[in-house]
Structures are given as C-alpha cells and as structure tokens.
Amino acid sequence: MKNITESSSEYEHLDEMSVSALLEGMNEEDRKVYEAIQKTLPEIEKLVKAIVPRIKEGGRVFYIGAGTSGRLGVLDASELPPTFGVSDGIFIGLIAGGDIALRKAVENAEDDTKQAWKTLQDYEINEKDVVIGIAASGTTPYVIGGVKTARDNGLLTACITCNPNSPLGKAVDIPIEAVVGSEFVTGSTRLKSGTAQKMILNMISTVTMIQLGKVSGNKMVHMQLTNQKLVERGSRMLMDELDISYNEAKKLLRQHGSVSAALNSKR
C-alpha cells in the first residue's frame, strides 16, 4: 500500500508564502476533492442501497473513527434527528476514546483494536446493522479492529478512506476510497481528506433519509422545530405548499407540531 495521505505536500515552502498565495494554494488543492469523490459514486450508491432496506427492518448505521474521522462521524449522526426528525438511535457515531475525545485527544485510543467492537456490543449490535469505518489513512487499528469483528459477525461493513488498497479497505464489504492526494500541509488529513470524508458522509446520510421518505419535494418536512429560525422556515414551507398566508401557516404549525403533520391535515 502506498500511503498517499502521508506523502509530501506539493508546496515546499509554505512558511515563505504570502497569505494570498497560501489561500490560493489551499483552494486549488480543495478542487481535487470533488474529482476524487466523483470516482467513488458507484460505491456510495451501493452502500446507500444496502443501508435503506436494513433501516426499514429496524437496523442502524454505526460510524466508527478516531480523531478528525471520528468527530466527523459523530457530527453527521448528530445532525440527522433535528434535520429529518428521526430517532437519534438510527445513525450513531462512535469515536476512539469516547466522547471526551471530541474535544481533546485521548492518548493511544486509536491503537486499541478491541475497543470499537466492545462499544458496539453495548448497543446490542446485530446483523440488521451496518458499520462504516472512517479513517483517512486506512490504517487506524481502532477502526480496522471494529469493522473486521463486525464483518466476522455477519454485519455489512464499509469504509471511507483516502488511500487505495489500504488494510481498512481490504477489511470491509464496500470500500469507498476517495484518493485526494497529498495534503497542503504534509500529513494534515483534517484538510482535503477530512473534507472528502464529510462530503461522503453528507451523501450517505442525506440520500438515505430522502429514500426513507424524510423529504417532500426538496423540503425537510420532518425537521424538529427546536428554535425560532426553524419555526419560520416551517411556516414558509406551509405557505409555499398550501398557498396560505403567514399567519395561517404559523397557526397550522402550532396546531400540528410539524410541517409534515400540518401538510397531511390538509391533504
């Protein structure tokens, strides 16, 4: 395996470049992310098509990762309940070292090959569930150990990595390998690799939610109305969909508690 994510940056003297040149360089590097993801769309599609029926049967999706990769998984999973009105137990993000590692690095946590599976067992994981390992390098022991054991126990496994033919990619059923090249700052995989991982997670979770009927037209009709901004957004949705006034929309929203329920009451 060639560890591309650790290869030297194409920019040799960052410390001598102007702010303008640094920003231009980073922006130019980020363009490569979109091209890399384009090549992975068939694998992403395969994964989404496998996830949807499992969730319909009561299954869940677990993201496991360490460091930036783990944080991105937790972030994506935590956004789904307010956005789509689903239970917080459908997509679950796990990070090496536990929740404290979201803010502060936990020493040696990513080197523990058994911890991910131990944590997954706390959720009474079963064959309806899907485990997605996230690791830019594709070599993180915590992630590899978790997906290997999950696969050995009959679960569907996938990964998101930025190195081709990595140990992680070889350990799963559906490897998604977004090869974005060397990082702007050598080895700093929170940059292009992290961006690619976040974009792929967006695709997986969003398209899954759409396929599960959580979007009507192009609107988040199942979103949780947890603040004034979202109440206003919901009111505008009802105004557009039902051709009613702002006051009528807001009254309807208060009566039914959600955009979807309000729409159903008028159909």
Residues with catalytic annotation?
Answer: 79, 110
In the chain, % helix, strand, coil (3-state, to 5) comes to 55, 10, 35
For the chain, the distance separating the N- and C-terminal CA atoms, rounded to the nearest angstrom, is: 57
CA distances to 130, 239, 240, 251 from 245, rounded to whole Å, are 44, 6, 9, 10
| CA distance to 38, 116, 138, 140, 157, per residue, from 110 (Å) | 29, 9, 12, 6, 19
Rg of the chain (C-alpha set): 21
* Order of all β-strands in the sheet with 174-177: 91-95, 61-65, 130-134, 156-161, 174-177
Contact 68, 74 (CB under 8 A): no
Helical segments of the chain, H only: 19-38, 41-56, 67-84, 115-122, 141-152, 167-171, 192-211, 228-242, 246-256, 259-265
CA torsion 159-80-206-136 (nearest 10°) is -30
How many residues comprise the chain? 267
